[in-house]
Amino acid sequence: MQTLAIIGSQWGDEGKGKITDLLGQKCDLVVRYQGGNNAGHTIIVGNKKTVLHLIPSGILHPHCVSLIGHGVVFDPEAFCKELDEVVNSGVEVTPKNLKISENATVITAYNKLLDVQRESKGPVKIGTTGRGIGPAYEDKAARKAIKIKDLLDLERLTKKLRQNAEEKIVLFEAKYKTEYPSVEAEAKRLFELGERVAPFVCDTFSYLDQALTANKKVLYEGAQGVLLDVDYGTYPYVTSSNTSAGGIYTGAGVSGKHLDEVLGITKAYTTRVGEGPFPSELFDEVGKHIQTKGNEVGATTGRTRRCGWLDLPLLKYSVKASNITSLALTKVDILCGIDTLKICIGYKYKGEIIDCAYPGIDLAEVEPVLKEVPPFNDTFTDGKELSPSLKSYIETIEQTVGIPVGIIAYGPERSEIKFLQNYF
């Protein structure tokens, strides 16, 4: 295997950071291709915790090159802050091991302001992270985005930003009645940040192309999850990028032949942050227990994550939508000791039972079909076999979605993992 994608198979926060860090050890390159600092990927090594939002989760391995592709929306201020944090924690980051696409889209102060104003005053609340992600992707689709390479020339930047801000200023003044920075001030701010970013900026397309030709091992690190994909996800309660494996082709800049396998990261239960339907959501003490024991608090916004049982109709759909070839089942330890353990195996919908959450189904209208399964309480001591109940939990997943579980994670630490299959 030369190339592998790490894709969240649910609504994000499945443990992609941990798995990327682990498999990154065996790779030459780790590539982020979509999303921005709405992501929060946690890596725990010993008593050191690193939360990455924009920098790829391979950065802790000195031999591994981290690459931010052109499909990413890039907040230069958030980047500089994260770079300082990572460097201050003792990690060496240089233009040799971090490369940023000159064509990535910049998140401006106007994008962030628009995101926050819409969420607080607009007609539909999505529960966004407020990082300006949606408005930045809107600019890109509208062909008026500021690109990283624009940050390097103040005159050009000011001109482009003036065109970019024209319509937004009408909204800030007439609709949202809010203050906003002048074009000159914002251009100056971005230009100054650009000076810090500049050494890392390059043609990542060619870099990746050459790496692949030289048979380098590449890991694509997805952000968010398939159910938040702007095309495949639970629209409109989604993010604004293609979070599924399809996003790699456009966001990193590679052709279809360069993706050997897709590893779907799947929490042993389900969580969601923000608004939107959630068929297997728990509102009882068990849900609270999972939330507390699993420390289900957003790594980016600090919001409490909604919790529910593992939803197999949704997982089955994600596997199809993202061509996932195997699963990494994470946070299995959190379900240990729950006496009445359930899995959502289907939905009652319009008088029928369905087993896959195809897009035509209105998730707000389904009733989950819950199956009680034997509880488990594994200790995951070295060399000890998994209990029959946990094995049966895994088999239920494998049989329903039709692909193998290749990894089991049972704690946040790098070492708390069991490989049932080899990667790289």
Least gap, CB of 143 to ligand GDP (angstroms): 31
Of 21, 41, 53, 70, which is the active-site residue? Answer: 41
- Residue 22, C-beta contacts closer than 8 angstroms, at least 6 positions apart: 414, 417
Q: Does residue 66 touch ligand GDP according to CB under 6 A?
A: no
Return the one option of ligand GDP, Mg ion, ligand IMO, none that residue 38 interacts with (CB less than 5 to 8 A, by type).
ligand IMO
Q: Does residue 41 touch ligand GDP according to CB under 6 A?
A: yes
Which one of 334, 386, 397, 405 is in contact with ligand GDP (CB under 6 A)? 334
- Residue 261, C-beta contacts closer than 8 angstroms, at least 6 positions apart: 1, 3, 4, 5, 325, 326, 423
**Closer by beta carbon to ligand GDP, 45 or else 154:** 45
Q: Does residue 17 touch ligand GDP according to CB under 6 A?
A: yes
Least gap, CB of 380 to ligand IMO (angstroms): 24
Least gap, CB of 16 to Mg ion (angstroms): 7
Which one of 273, 327, 329, 403 is in contact with ligand IMO (CB under 6 A)? 273
Q: Does residue 21 touch ligand IMO according to CB under 6 A?
A: no
Q: Does residue 126 touch ligand IMO according to CB under 6 A?
A: yes
Return the one option of Mg ion, ligand IMO, ligand GDP, none that residue 349 interacts with (CB less than 5 to 8 A, by type).
none
Return the one option of Mg ion, ligand IMO, ligand GDP, none that residue 134 interacts with (CB less than 5 to 8 A, by type).
ligand IMO
Pairing of strands 261-267, 3-8: parallel
Query: Contact, 220 vs 248, CB < 8 A?
Result: yes
Which one of 10, 37, 42, 204 is in contact with ligand GDP (CB under 6 A)? 42
Pairing of strands 352-354, 326-330: unpaired
Q: Give the Cα separation of 36 and 143 in Å (integer).
A: 19
Q: What values do phi and psi take at 119, rounded to 5? A: -65, -35
Which one of 3, 5, 6, 8 is in contact with ligand IMO (CB under 6 A)? 8
The dihedral built from the CA positions of residue 232, 234, 235 and 241, taken in this order, carries a sign that is negative
**Whose CA is closest to 73, among 180, 145, 168, 1?**
145
Return the one option of ligand IMO, Mg ion, ligand GDP, none that residue 128 interacts with (CB less than 5 to 8 A, by type).
ligand IMO
Which one of 7, 12, 329, 366 is in contact with ligand IMO (CB under 6 A)? 12
Q: Does residue 331 touch ligand GDP according to CB under 6 A?
A: yes
Return the one option of Mg ion, ligand GDP, ligand IMO, none that residue 44 interacts with (CB less than 5 to 8 A, by type).
ligand GDP
3-state SS string over 295-329? CCECCCCCCECEEECEEHHHHHHHHHHCCCCEEEE
* Cα distances (angstroms) measured from residue 181 to each of 161, 165, 168, 186, 316: 12, 10, 12, 6, 46
Q: Does residue 272 touch ligand GDP according to CB under 6 A?
A: no
Written as six digits, the tokens of 85 are 């944090």
**Whose CA is closest to 311, among 283, 344, 278?**
344
Cβ-based neighbour number of residue 295 at 10 Å: 12
Least gap, CB of 413 to ligand GDP (angstroms): 8
Mapping DSSP to helix (H, G, I), strand (E, B) and coil, where does residue 68 land?
strand
Helix (H) or strand (E) holding 352: strand 352-354
Written as six digits, the tokens of 91 are 């990690």
* Cα distances (angstroms) measured from residue 304 to each of 27, 287, 288, 290, 311: 34, 12, 11, 12, 19
Least gap, CB of 419 to ligand GDP (angstroms): 13
Q: Does residue 13 touch Mg ion according to CB under 5 A?
A: yes
Side chain identity at residue 207, one-letter code: Y
- Known catalytic residue at 13: yes
| One character per residue 393-412, x = contact with ligand GDP (rule: CB under 6 A) | ----------------xxxx
Least gap, CB of 235 to ligand IMO (angstroms): 11
Least gap, CB of 8 to ligand GDP (angstroms): 6
Cβ-based neighbour number of residue 178 at 10 Å: 14
- Known catalytic residue at 61: no
**Whose CA is closest to 39, among 243, 212, 280?**
243
Annotated catalytic residues are 13, 41
Provide the binding-site residues for Mg ion, judged by CB under 5 A: 13, 40, 299
User: Interface with ligand IMO by CB under 6 A: which residues?
Assistant: 8, 11-13, 38-41, 126-129, 131, 133-134, 223-225, 228, 239-240, 273-274, 299
Could you list the residues that contact ligand GDP (CB under 6 A)? 8, 12-18, 40-42, 44, 299, 330-331, 333-334, 409-412
